[in-house]
């Protein structure tokens, strides 16, 4: 057996998930097929693909929500299912697509932070708890007086998502799986959320950043793994995969991104204006 590479945190090996659904007649749906990639400690890996390509299936397998049909996932060289749940979820955490769904509406949001601290450090004096919470709120740019003591419905999606990043900072896992963490956030808060993911990286936390957005992947990721119809079609350094893709699917994904650096063709705009001029008012 080859000696384990200490830099490798997550080793996804030939992962396949076939869903079987149906009531009278069983139907098999491929969730993901033969998916392999590595996440090294402290790096951001983008798992990129259009809707239905199998990204959430891979995320849920890593989060142990269900077992793979075949293949395996190793965390620090050991099968993920060999870890007791408490140990595993101290190492692997999730940031949800829908921050509203991650909070219990009956409790103030502080509870999520306190529970995270209890999860990580069983005994911590209340002054120290407060200090740790203030520190992480400051990192994610939240004003304590605007969020502490509030209920989830009193906060915006962007604020709740920042709280979840603060929660991850308190737990200090080795890996955060972030499945489309900006898709339900208003556009003005998106860049902030992406930037705060870098705060996790600064603490040595690796991130599997799941997105259908090539721009976000290019902005944030060290490495990109592109999925299409359940399979990995291309992977490598983000700059290489996203800026000079070889696979036609990635080229098509890229061509859908607005080209910010390209000069606007005003003559085409004038053509349009001319067309309007001929329209009866
Ligand atoms: N629980 C499920 N039961 C049956 N099919 C599913 C289930 N979850 C996902 N699928 C199917 O698996 C494929 C991949 O879905 P998913 O992993 O959610 O993709 P993505 O996150 O990239 O949009 C899709 O065809 C989807 O319909
Ligand atoms: Mg998904």
Reported as a single tens digit per residue, the pLDDT across 149-206 is 999 999 999 999 999 999 999 999 999 999 999 988 888 888 889 999 999 999 999 9
Highest mean pLDDT among 37-51, 102-116, 186-200, 243-257: 37-51
pLDDT at 59: 97
Q: Which ligand is nearest to the CA of 60?
A: 1
Q: What separation in Å is there between the alpha carbon of 179 and the centre of ligand 2?
A: 7
Angle between helices 187-202 and 157-171 (to 10 degrees): 10
The answer on pLDDT for 140 being more than 50 is yes
The answer on pLDDT for 273 being more than 70 is no
Instruction: Return the structure tokens found at 227.
Output: 């999925």
DSSP assignment letter at 51: T
Q: Which ligand is nearest to the CA of 53?
A: 1
The answer on pLDDT for 277 being more than 80 is no
pLDDT at 258: 60
pLDDT at 22: 82
Q: Round to whole Å and give the CA distance between 226 and 232.
A: 6
Percent of the chain with pLDDT over 90: 68
Q: Per the domain annotation, does 268 fall within a domain?
A: no
Q: Per the domain annotation, does 212 fall within a domain?
A: yes
Instruction: Return the structure tokens found at 212.
Output: 């259908």
Ligand 1 pocket, residue 107 CB under 6 Å: no
Which candidate, 165, 156, 177, 167, places its Cα nearest to that of 61?
177
Into how many domains does the chain fold? 1
Sheet holding 70-75, edge to edge: 27-40, 8-21, 70-75, 78-79
Highest mean pLDDT among 122-126, 226-230, 257-261, 272-276: 226-230
* Residue 200 CB partners (closer than 8 Å, separation 6+): 165, 168, 169, 176, 207
Q: Per the domain annotation, does 225 fall within a domain?
A: yes
Stronger pLDDT, 170 or 270, i.e. the higher one: 170
Probe ligand 1: pick from 20, 23, 29, max atoms within 8 Å of CB?
Answer: 29
Q: Round to whole Å and give the CA distance between 184 and 200.
A: 20
Please return the burial class of 102, using the count of CB atoms within 10 Å of its CB with bins 0-12, 13-18 and 19+.
Answer: middle
Which candidate, 104, 107, 65, places its Cα nearest to that of 57?
65
Q: Round to whole Å and give the CA distance between 44 and 208.
A: 6
pLDDT tens digits, 44-56: 999 999 999 999 9
* Residue 280 CB partners (closer than 8 Å, separation 6+): none
Ligand 1 pocket, residue 57 CB under 6 Å: yes
pLDDT at 276: 47
CA-CA distances (angstroms) from residue 234 to 13, 87, 121, 131? 15, 33, 41, 44
Q: pLDDT band at 109, cuts 50/70/90?
A: very high
Q: Per the domain annotation, does 277 fall within a domain?
A: no
Q: Per the domain annotation, does 270 fall within a domain?
A: no
Q: Per the domain annotation, does 21 fall within a domain?
A: yes
Q: pLDDT band at 265, cuts 50/70/90?
A: low
The answer to whether residues 207 and 45 touch, using CB atoms and an 8 Å cutoff, is yes
Three-state DSSP at 119 gives: helix
Three-state DSSP at 15 gives: strand
Ligand 1 pocket, residue 17 CB under 6 Å: no
Q: pLDDT band at 238, cuts 50/70/90?
A: very high
Strand partners, 27: 21
pLDDT at 97: 87
pLDDT at 253: 81
Ligand 1 pocket, residue 21 CB under 6 Å: yes
Which candidate, 175, 245, 207, places its Cα nearest to that of 47?
207
pLDDT tens digits, 27-84: 999 999 999 999 999 999 999 999 999 999 999 999 999 999 999 999 999 999 999 9
Q: What separation in Å is there between the alpha carbon of 178 and the centre of ligand 2?
A: 11
pLDDT at 257: 66
| Dihedral angle, C-alpha 59, 63, 67, 71, nearest 10 ° | 60
Q: Per the domain annotation, does 232 fall within a domain?
A: yes
Query: Average pLDDT of the chain?
Result: 88
pLDDT tens digits, 6-17: 899 999 999 999
Q: Give the structural domain span for 78.
A: 8-256
Q: What separation in Å is there between the alpha carbon of 234 and the centre of ligand 2?
A: 19
Q: pLDDT band at 281, cuts 50/70/90?
A: very low
pLDDT at 61: 98
Q: In CATH, what number is assigned to the domain containing residue 13?
A: 3.40.50.300
Q: Per the domain annotation, does 139 fall within a domain?
A: yes
pLDDT at 249: 84
Strands (DSSP E) contained in the chain are 8-21, 27-40, 44-48, 70-75, 78-79, 92-95, 175-179, 206-211, 223-228, 231-237
Ligand 1 pocket, residue 145 CB under 6 Å: no
């Amino acid at each position: 057996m080859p000696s384990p590479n200490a830099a490798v945190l997550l080793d996804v090996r030939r992962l396949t998930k076939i869903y079987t659904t149906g009531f009278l007649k069983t139907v098999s749906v491929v969730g993901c097929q033969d998916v392999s990639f590595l996440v090294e400690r402290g790096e951001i890996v983008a798992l990129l693909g259009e809707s239905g390509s199998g990204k959430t299936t891979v995320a849920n397998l890593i989060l142990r929500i269900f077992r793979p049909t075949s293949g395996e996932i190793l965390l620090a060289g050991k099968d993920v299912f060999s870890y007791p749940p408490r140990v595993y979820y101290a190492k692997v955490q999730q940031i949800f697509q829908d921050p509203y769904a991650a909070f219990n509406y009956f409790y103030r949001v502080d509870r999520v932070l306190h529970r995270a601290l209890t999860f990580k450090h069983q005994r911590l004096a209340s002054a120290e708890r407060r200090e740790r919470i203030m520190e992480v709120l400051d990192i994610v740019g939240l004003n304590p007086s605007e969020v502490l003591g509030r209920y989830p419905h009193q906060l915006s999606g962007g604020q709740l998502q920042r709280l979840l990043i603060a929660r991850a900072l308190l737990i200090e896992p080795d890996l955060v799986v972030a499945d489309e963490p900006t898709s339900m956030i208003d556009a003005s808060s998106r860049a902030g959320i992406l930037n705060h993911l870098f705060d996790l990286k600064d603490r040595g936390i690796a991130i599997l950043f799941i997105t259908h957005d090539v721009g976000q992947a290019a902005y944030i990721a060290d490495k990109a793994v592109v999925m299409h119809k359940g399979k990995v079609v291309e992977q490598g350094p983000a700059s290489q995969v996203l800026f000079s893709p070889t696979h036609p699917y990635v080229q098509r994904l890229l061509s859908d991104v607005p080209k910010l650096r390209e000069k606007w063709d005003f003559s085409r705009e004038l053509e349009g204006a001319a067309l309007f001029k001929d329209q009866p008012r």
